[in-house]
Amino acid sequence: MKRPLAVLAAAAVTGVALVVPVTAAHADESGLDVTNVTATWKDSSLSVSYDWNNWEGNSSLEVLVDGTSVKHTDADWLGVGSVSTKVARTAASGPAQVSVTEHVCGYDSDAPDYTSTTCTDSTVWSATVRQLKTPPKGNSSASALLAKLKVKSESHSGSYKRSKFELWVDANGDHEDTRAEVLKAESKKKVTENSRHTVKTGKWVSAYDGKTFTVASKLDIDHLVPLQEAWTSGAYAWSAKKREAYANDLGYGASLIAVSKHANRSKGDKEPNAYLPALKSYRCAYVRNFIAVKSRWSLSVDSTEKTALSADLATYCTSNDWVKTPGKPNIKALVPKPKPTSGGGSGGSGGGGGGTTHGLDPRYPTCTELLKHPNHAPYQRGVDPEYNWYQDRDGDGLVCE
């Protein structure tokens, strides 16, 4: 069951925001507009800024932090301007309640000296702002990574097949496949293996539900960002080699995780708006790692997913949202080295042939023939040598998509 989006949206606003870019507009009988309000609390400095345009009335504006005035600005007749202010603030002070208030005074036209008779105050903008700390070296802010992800509706869900992602390869040639590598890395004690390098025993704590296991067969290796989610978020356009690399990503520890079979099946292919681990103490790590993996592979997020991730960071990562900087994947290091094969022919656009080239996918006369065979195309310009065998008719950098 999906979590109610109304609740998620509210949490993202009132939770709130490590960085709050808010646009506010205020116009009443005073004739004062206030726009482009932003409030940012980074490290020990809280900054507030806004623009104002006074086209009729006589007003003044005030920035308040926790109810205390920190900046007062007179908005003169027919004036425009920008205001910015900074105040020192430590983490011990807790979340900051920031507001911009307008003071409007009316005049009695019957009085000989136009003496002010009434003044009113109104809140133009307000927000709760949390501290954003500079991550230590080698780490990034999950919020910052999320802000950079492309927002795009999911697509190509109907063409997804698990078989398009080749699983559990031996990329480094040490006779241990990806599953064995993850189990060895996450075991709390030395593992035992059989003659085929299959991990049999060890000690693992399933991060999703906190359960402990000593028999490897009780565990699944979960893709933190599920394969189907990756497919609909951009992997549908990848080459077979890149999908294989994604499915066996030992280059970033958060990509793959050993969890109980029950927990893995409960999660399935759900996004964070529909699933969070039962173990609440792991939810912050889960959300920030989910964002990091999407960032690492340049996968998109849809608007609902982004709202949920933002809300979850505000709810579960109240201390900080740091995550190990994901970097970009080394595709060649994540797939087995190609074995020499016979046959081939020279490269070039179009087709011809039907043989193979050393270390590459089989070569087919046309894209139509190629697409009858799974786990190959599309090929990407500059990534897959096979790209040069076929015609990129629409010039989008992919062939046989």
Residue 352 pLDDT: 37
DSSP 172: T
- Mean pLDDT of the region 50-54: 87
Amino acid at 199: V
Residue 302 pLDDT: 96
Residue 385 pLDDT: 77
- Please give the model's pTM, rounded to 2 decimal places: 0.63
- Predicted confidence band at 339 (pLDDT cuts at 50, 70, 90)? low
Q: Give the mean pLDDT of the chain.
A: 83
Handedness of CA 289, 291, 327, 40 (dihedral sign): negative
Amino acid at 174: D
Distance CA 161, CA 154 (A): 15
Residue 349 pLDDT: 33
| 157 CB-side CA count, 13 A | 6
pLDDT digits (tens, 9 = 90+) for 211-242: 999 999 999 999 999 999 999 999 999 999 99
Query: 349 or 185, which is more confident?
Result: 185
Compute and round to an integer the Cα radius of gyration of the chain: 28
Handedness of CA 281, 286, 292, 293 (dihedral sign): positive
Q: Which CATH architecture has domain 19-129?
A: Sandwich (2.60)
Least confident of 94-98, 161-165, 292-296, 335-339: 335-339
Q: What share of the chain is helix, strand, coil (3-state, %, to 5)?
A: 25, 25, 45
Query: 214 or 341, which is more confident?
Result: 214
Task: Give domain limits for the chain.
Answer: 19-129, 139-333, 339-401
Residue 382 pLDDT: 67
Contact of 132 with 143, CB cutoff 8 Å: yes
Distance CA 289, CA 47 (A): 29
Distance CA 140, CA 18 (A): 14
Chain centroid to CA 21: how far? 18
Residue 146 pLDDT: 96
Which residues contact residue 233 at a Cβ distance below 8 angstroms, ignoring those fewer than 6 apart?
152, 154, 225, 294, 299, 300, 301
pLDDT digits (tens, 9 = 90+) for 271-324: 999 999 999 999 999 999 999 999 999 999 999 999 999 999 989 998 889 999
pLDDT digits (tens, 9 = 90+) for 66-121: 999 999 888 666 678 899 999 999 888 888 999 999 887 766 555 555 555 677 88
Residue 117 pLDDT: 60
Contact of 41 with 89, CB cutoff 8 Å: yes
Q: What is the DSSP string of 231-290?
A: HHTTGGGS-HHHHHHHHT--SSTTSEEEEEHHHHHHHTT--TTT---S-GGGHHHHHHHH
Q: Six-digit token pair at 201?
A: 């025993």
pLDDT digits (tens, 9 = 90+) for 166-178: 999 999 999 999 9
pLDDT digits (tens, 9 = 90+) for 258-272: 999 999 999 999 999
Residue 105, Cβ density class (10 Å: 0-12 exposed, 13-18 middle, ≥19 buried): middle
Query: Count of residues for the chain?
Result: 401
Distance CA 186, CA 194 (A): 18
